[in-house]
A and B are shown apart, each in its own frame.
Chain A
């Protein structure tokens, strides 16, 4: 009787083992089945931001190329949060309810990403953040969170070096009134964005390190926007006539806003530099209105976002050309764009 009981236990254990092996086998077979379509939800902090709009265009191109190369249908739903975190949270909810395989989020408020991360984690959907980095505590919560950026410090150092080089070549092109000091104004992005603070700090630091004698006249927050920058610059041109010799801008849109104000007031010759290398920014460099900008390779930037997203959605390895730091951060290479250096 006791032997009989032992046999039963052994048999049932074997059955359970077989069942477990069979189920595992099914799972791996499913994984090997290549997906015929993937669904990616993209939420942008503001669709009218020129840089973000450029990235959006490149993302769409990446999706089309991927479809053609791999024969996998890419359903990419791109939504504009219009600067509202609440709207973005709703968009994330909708993406999850529609069964997105992966989310690409350009957060409105980098300090409020935890709500979206909670939702994505609950649904086991990986997230690729870009352009605005969630706080480190949030990024460390899950190994399926990624971040793609153009490093702010590098952008700022390159921006500063455009001015340093110009000063070394011809100090008179910057020190317009010949008083031995380059007087500058600063147009900054929104104060809650980590890039705005870093770009400002390192741009000025590079000028100092490069031996450019600088003096700050004033500065203001134009929230990355052309119109706000234009209004601020117009005020400064009135308030400090003939004093402004350099305009340092945290991005190209604000640099173009400053140029708009100069055009309106009929002032020329003030050195203006931007960051981002947006299409209108590069056009302004080509026609000599903007002295220089720092451009990240937008194709690579969008390619990294899409590459990570597509590999997560299909369950494949992230392509080796997307070199991740700490397994989650991708820093896009950048370069200086001036009229002579492209």
Chain B
């Protein structure tokens, strides 16, 4: 009897030990560690001001797809040298895919061709023709050229009296701005209105140059070619009543909350907006897929729209412009 009891207790102890090993350790059942994909996103700006919705989409994808995303801004806006250095640093630090909004076109594809970049590359806001040359990568972009054309059409539709059109450049024009400008200029030329247009360089003196261009008499329409120059112009018009009186309408492109507030207040008449949340989400998704050697389908151009003040309350645009994380 005593022996049986001893055997029972020994067996009981052994069962408990096995159960403990099963439940609390991975000695018997190996739990598969979730793989984390380090992805680096390197933009061409020194601040993330124009990437707020993009980051929201990026962060959503990071949580859903187990990606560890580093969002990196440059020390100095528009510096290709820094962008190159950061790309190499991130690759060396173990990034399995790079999402890059290049300050200039061409060199990034060349870096991949020269085998300096060995991880998949996702081009942001680039030209799709350039993405076709990528060996391992894809392109997430908007049709800035079409956006420029659309804005031009809307301006010509709303202002038929032959007012001057002041085109405000950004401080450091990037690829998106160049494509946008090309589209806008094409429309003005096609409509025979190019002589109405006056290009004003961006930078700190832009306000003074604009006021000078507006002159004492007559009215003008302003088309800002970058989100930065649109913001500068909106601030100027909201602060200076005299200048505002000489402007028939302020137009441009950009998605920041400040710009949308100016649109809501009526300082900006019309604006081209993009679905940045989707761009952020899709770029991280493409990065993870390519890191896993899965194929990524060509996404074409992502959606962009021209909106006015009344469209801000439209559910479709509200969801796109103020996405919930």
Question: Which residues of A approach B to under 8 Å, CB–CB?
Answer: 37, 57, 60, 64, 67-68, 73, 75, 77, 79-80, 82, 94, 98
**A98 contacts which of B36, B47, B73, B93 (Cβ < 8 Å)?**
B36
The answer to whether B70 has its CB under 8 Å from any CB of chain A is yes
Find out whether the CB atom of A68 lies under 8 angstroms from the CB atom of B75. Answer: yes
Question: Which residues of B approach A to under 8 Å, CB–CB?
Answer: 36, 47, 59, 63, 68, 70, 73, 75, 89, 93, 325
Find out whether the CB atom of B75 lies under 8 angstroms from the CB atom of A64. Answer: yes
The smallest C-beta distance from B267 to any residue of chain A, in angstroms, reads: 16
Bound-state CA distance A77–B325 (Å) is 16
Bound-state CA distance A73–B70 (Å) is 11
Bound-state CA distance A98–B93 (Å) is 15
- Knowing A68-B75, A98-B68, the reply to whether A73 touches B325 (Cβ < 8 A) is no
Find out whether the CB atom of B93 lies under 8 angstroms from the CB atom of A37. Answer: yes
**A73 contacts which of B63, B73, B93 (Cβ < 8 Å)?**
B93
- Knowing A64-B75, A80-B325, A98-B68, the reply to whether A73 touches B36 (Cβ < 8 A) is no
Closest 5 CB pairs of A and B: A75-B70, A98-B68, A64-B75, A68-B75, A37-B93
Bound-state CA distance A257–B112 (Å) is 52
The smallest C-beta distance from B38 to any residue of chain A, in angstroms, reads: 9
When distances are taken between beta carbons in the complex, the residues of chain A under 8 Å from B36 are: 98
Find out whether the CB atom of A82 lies under 8 angstroms from the CB atom of B325. Answer: yes
When distances are taken between beta carbons in the complex, the residues of chain B under 8 Å from A68 are: 75
18 contacts between A and B (CB under 8 A): A37-B93, A57-B47, A60-B47, A60-B73, A64-B73, A64-B75, A67-B75, A68-B75, A73-B89, A73-B93, A75-B70, A77-B70, A79-B59, A80-B325, A82-B325, A94-B63, A98-B36, A98-B68
A287 and chain B: residue at smallest CB distance = B239
When distances are taken between beta carbons in the complex, the residues of chain B under 8 Å from A77 are: 70
Q: A37-B93, A73-B89, A80-B325 are in contact. List 15 more A-B contacts (CB 8 A).
A: A57-B47, A60-B47, A60-B73, A64-B73, A64-B75, A67-B75, A68-B75, A73-B93, A75-B70, A77-B70, A79-B59, A82-B325, A94-B63, A98-B36, A98-B68
Bound-state CA distance A99–B63 (Å) is 15
When distances are taken between beta carbons in the complex, the residues of chain A under 8 Å from B59 are: 79
B55 and chain A: residue at smallest CB distance = A78
The smallest C-beta distance from B148 to any residue of chain A, in angstroms, reads: 31
When distances are taken between beta carbons in the complex, the residues of chain A under 8 Å from B73 are: 60, 64
Bound-state CA distance A190–B276 (Å) is 33
Bound-state CA distance A135–B36 (Å) is 35
When distances are taken between beta carbons in the complex, the residues of chain B under 8 Å from A37 are: 93
When distances are taken between beta carbons in the complex, the residues of chain B under 8 Å from A73 are: 89, 93
When distances are taken between beta carbons in the complex, the residues of chain B under 8 Å from A94 are: 63
The smallest C-beta distance from B235 to any residue of chain A, in angstroms, reads: 11
The smallest C-beta distance from B8 to any residue of chain A, in angstroms, reads: 38
Bound-state CA distance A60–B68 (Å) is 19
Bound-state CA distance A82–B323 (Å) is 13
Bound-state CA distance A57–B48 (Å) is 10
When distances are taken between beta carbons in the complex, the residues of chain A under 8 Å from B89 are: 73
Residue with the highest number of chain A CB atoms closer than 10 Å, among B68, B75, B89, B93 = B68
A82 and chain B: residue at smallest CB distance = B325
